[in-house]
Structure 1
Amino acid sequence: MPAPPISSEWNRRVWLLAGPIILSNITVPLIGVVDTAVVGHLPEPHHIGAVAVGALIFNYLFWSFGFLRMGTTGLAAQAAGAGDLEEVRSTLARAMLMAGALGLIAILLQKPILEFALWAIGGSPAVAAEAGDYFLIRIWSAPAALAKFALIGWFLALQKAKVTLLMQLAMNLVNLALDLLFVLGWGWGVEGVAVASVIAEYAGLALGLLIARRLLAEMGGDFRRARILDAAALRKMIVVNRDIFIRTLCLLTAFGYVTAKGAAMGDVTLAANAVLLQFQSIMAYALDGFAHAAEVLVGRAVGQRDRRVLRAAVRASFLWALIFAVLFSLFWVAGGPALIRLLTGIEAVRATAYALLPWAIASPLVSVWGYTYDGVFLGATRTVEVRNAMILCLALCVAAGELLIPHWGNAGLWSAFMLFMVARGATLAAYYPRIGRDLA
């Protein structure tokens, strides 16, 4: 049976979810832009490199546990689609318990995590020293950051995207204000960036808990220990989260590969790559709005066992994601050089970043497919396919990098990264027909 046309109603559904998510997400890389711009105008390039390396470590640490957001959204959306409000409530409880435990483990293991990360990434002694200072401060935000992931995933499943906007906006405004105060006002340098991040994470969590308490009261019912600790539900959550964990680890390893290989080429190349990865970050957080919309709408369609709704949700999500990808490429053509000048005043870094700008212009058009398909598969909790596809994509990226970097240098590194993005979309597109067949 054919999918219904992309009507104004479907456009409205996508934008009710994607609009607030885009607005909230876009503030996240803007904070990274401010961090980079603040240290980018210090006299030495190793300051930018230290923030890039420190942020990369936390991308690994926190986003490796991104299943707390993605898994919670898919599971809770399917429960909501099936009308099981008690399972919606229990899904949140399981995710919050897991977030608290993982956050405490991260704090306890902070020294070995830091030592391994600095060994794996490399970089100059100056970069490693400042990145270590950054890490040992920001690690104390781990419980709040992971619990916030679980809350945001749950809010999205309930189609409360405006709540995530309010939560993220409050946190990022606190981060921005404290960043400027601690770094520019008080001269704390890289350590000031880390302290601002810790305070902001706990502020965002506090606001999210207050809103969740009100929503739970409106929902009615109580938390029941037997339901929360139900063996079958726990087993499903563990399997889903395991696959998403492996998927996310592979994704972050691809970004880590770019940073580590750039570090081996010197501080100027590392800094220029960090500047261009901010372009990728801004674009990704915006396109993720449509991926999140697809995740929620697909999750509810799977809960309802309705293949026509599934196909309509996927088509509408892809339409708007593609429109935004084109707009981002055009924006990088027009404003890319100005953004590079904003991010750094070091001429050697600027010159290297200008040469890399064509990669940033092409990236939205090749990346959009993988981002949106991610949302589709996570909403359907088809995490085995997501895991297997990402393993293959990472292997292609590393193989291409090792082949091309000796001949093309940094251009070879970016060629391998673009291949990774193309492969993300292609592999998931090949798997996609399985979802509709199984639902039928």
Structure 2
Amino acid sequence: MVNVVEERVPARKVFGLAVPALGVLAAEPLYVLVDTAVVGHLGALPLAGLALGGVLLSLVSTQLTFLSYGTTARTARLHGAGRRAEAVSEGVQATWLALAVGLVVLGLGQLFAEPIASAMSGDEAVTAEAVSWLRIALCGAPMILVTMAGNGWMRGVQDAVRPLRYVLVGNAISAVLCPVLVYPVGWGLEGSAIANVVAQTISGGLFLRALARERAGLRPHPSVMWAQLTLGRDLVLRSLGFQACFLSAATVAARTSTEAVGAHQVVLQLWTFLSLVLDSVAIAAQSLIGAALGGGSSRKARGVATQIARYGLIFGCFLCAVFAALSQVLPHAFTSDPGVLGEIPHAWWFFVALQPVAGVVFALDGVLLGAGDAAFLRNATIASAVGGFLPMIWASLAFGWGLTGIWAGLSLFMLARLGFVLARWRSGKWAVVGAVRA
């Protein structure tokens, strides 16, 4: 790599983007917790239906995050080049795409909700509850995707506060509405689904209003949407690599023992939560890197990349120290079962040791996403999964390594990804300048 003098940005600018992004990322899990607490008092069967239906709905949104991340990358470049109107126009096209894909998801979901839920559950009563909830909740799919697109273009123009406000307004109203519809109104589990749709409709409507106020042209441009889909294809395939890994891990844990799957769930939920914290820095990186490259400054992009990677490492080391100190206390907040508590240490120390690695990996993921280097990230994720995680996971099942084998597989996956993103970062090949990445 050619040595160049690197530029930085003020830390307050990074965290001015990262902190609101963290709020947006955390809003949905917090709402799900409220929803779970409300439905949980209806009994075990409705709660099981919500759990299954919620997993299926979240799979849809997880696979379509390109509407957020891909839009940020493209919009940020145009914003950095001083072409705000065109940047907002990217948001318009992403919103049209979101509405179209959302309607397709809604239609297919209504057709296939029952057979998919039945295949996953194997219990007719749970399947019926899940399908009842899911078919209503899917009516919010177009607005879920509009919200993703809205987050994407607003982050691209470095407006991080309004997305947080829009998401919080929708979720707060729904959190109040959910218990009212479930209990006094008497709609039960279906009331929870209706409250979910209300939240998505309010948030999506606020993003639509924000676009209208920009006075951008609202006509669809198929060529732009096709370019967004091309970037989206790589991000979807990358996401499928993650899903294959984590579904395999859950399957192997379930076949190990009841205590093992309980322990895996506890540690995995903590891993997921901390991933949100670290990912907020990556989202800031997407916006700043895209703007730097769009403005024609590879030197600034390299400087921001170094800065973001350093922040990720510092945060990761801090989290490592905190959760190492909490190892004897925190697991008891999640379970009192002696068997589960006995299994948790087999995963816990991998989880703790991986935090600095995760900090750097997520930070550099954000850098490369901001640069639009999605094809590389796709290949790196799939190679890491096929060459590291999946063989170790299934060997763990074959040889009875339990949680130790599962989390060793996750460690191989993360270390392989670290190697790939560090090599790419050092090469500088990602730093392609211009308002649009060639």
Q: Which residue number corresponds to residue 28 of structure 1?
A: 28
Q: Does structure 1 residue 302 correspond to structure 2 residue 328? A: no
Residues 261-307 of structure 1, C-alpha deviations (whole Å, 9 max, x = no match): 34445666545433333212211111111111111111011112211
Distance 2:259 2:113 in 1: 23
Distance 2:406 2:129 in 1: 25
Q: Which amino acid aligns with 1:419?
A: L
TM-score normalised by length of structure 1: 0.84
Distance 2:176 2:51 in 1: 20
Q: Which residue number corresponds to residue 415 of structure 2?
A: 422
Superposition deviation, residue 79 in structure 1? 1.1
Q: Which amino acid aligns with 1:275?
A: V
Residues 137-156 of structure 1, C-alpha deviations (whole Å, 9 max, x = no match): 32222111011000000110
Q: Which residue number corresponds to residue 89 of structure 2?
A: 90
What SS does the corresponding residue of 1:159 show, helix, strand or coil? coil
Q: Which residue number corresponds to residue 429 of structure 2?
A: 435
Distance 1:352 1:132 in 2: 34
Equivalent of residue 223 in structure 1, options 214, 217, 220: 217
Equivalent of residue 411 in structure 1, options 404, 410, 432: 404
Superposition deviation, residue 419 in structure 1? 2.5
Superposition deviation, residue 373 in structure 1? 1.8
Q: Which residue number corresponds to residue 380 of structure 1?
A: 371
Residues 402-425 of structure 1, C-alpha deviations (whole Å, 9 max, x = no match): 111232123322332332233222
Q: Which residue number corresponds to residue 108 of structure 2?
A: 109
Q: Which residue number corresponds to residue 4 of structure 1?
A: 6
Q: Which amino acid aligns with 1:27?
A: A
Alignment of 1:241-390 (within 5 A): 241-265=232-256, 269-335=260-326, 340-343=331-334, 352-353=343-344, 356-390=347-381
Contact 1:107 1:139 in 2 (8 A): yes
Q: Which amino acid aligns with 1:398?
A: L
Superposition deviation, residue 67 in structure 1? 0.6
Contact 1:295 1:379 in 2 (8 A): yes
What SS does the corresponding residue of 2:10 show, helix, strand or coil? helix
Structure-2 change in CA distance of 1:133 and 1:368 (3 Å): farther
Residues 373-394 of structure 1, C-alpha deviations (whole Å, 9 max, x = no match): 2211111111110111121122
Distance 2:42 2:415 in 1: 36
Greater RCO (Cα-Cα under 8 Å, separation 6 or more)? 1
Distance 1:266 1:182 in 2: 38
Alignment of 1:59-70 (within 5 A): 59-70=58-69
Superposition deviation, residue 248 in structure 1? 1.7
Residues 6-43 of structure 1, C-alpha deviations (whole Å, 9 max, x = no match): 5xx43122112112112332333333444566677898
Structure-2 change in CA distance of 1:334 and 1:437 (3 Å): closer
Contact 1:40 1:345 in 2 (8 A): no
Structure-2 change in CA distance of 1:356 and 1:224 (3 Å): closer
Distance 1:126 1:266 in 2: 25
Aligned residues: 429
Contact 1:370 1:425 in 2 (8 A): yes
Distance 1:38 1:278 in 2: 20
Distance 1:348 1:192 in 2: 36
Residues 226-262 of structure 1, C-alpha deviations (whole Å, 9 max, x = no match): xx5263x344322211111211222233222233334
Q: Which amino acid aligns with 2:385?
A: L
Q: Does structure 1 residue 398 correspond to structure 2 residue 390? A: yes
Distance 1:21 1:129 in 2: 36
Q: Which residue number corresponds to residue 140 of structure 1?
A: 139
Between 344-353 and 17-26, report the one with greater CA deviation: 344-353
Contact 1:373 1:428 in 2 (8 A): yes
Q: Which residue number corresponds to residue 170 of structure 2?
A: 171
Structure-2 change in CA distance of 1:16 and 1:287 (3 Å): same
Q: Which residue number corresponds to residue 71 of structure 1?
A: 70
Between 88-97 and 52-61, report the one with greater CA deviation: 52-61
Superposition deviation, residue 109 in structure 1? 1.0
Structure-2 change in CA distance of 1:168 and 1:97 (3 Å): same
Between 114-123 and 365-374, report the one with greater CA deviation: 114-123
Q: Which residue number corresponds to residue 200 of structure 1?
A: 199
Residues 165-192 of structure 1, C-alpha deviations (whole Å, 9 max, x = no match): 2122223323443455566888877655
What SS does the corresponding residue of 1:435 show, helix, strand or coil? coil
Distance 1:339 1:186 in 2: 38
Aligned-CA RMSD value: 3.4
| Structure 1 stretches lacking a partner, 5+ long | none
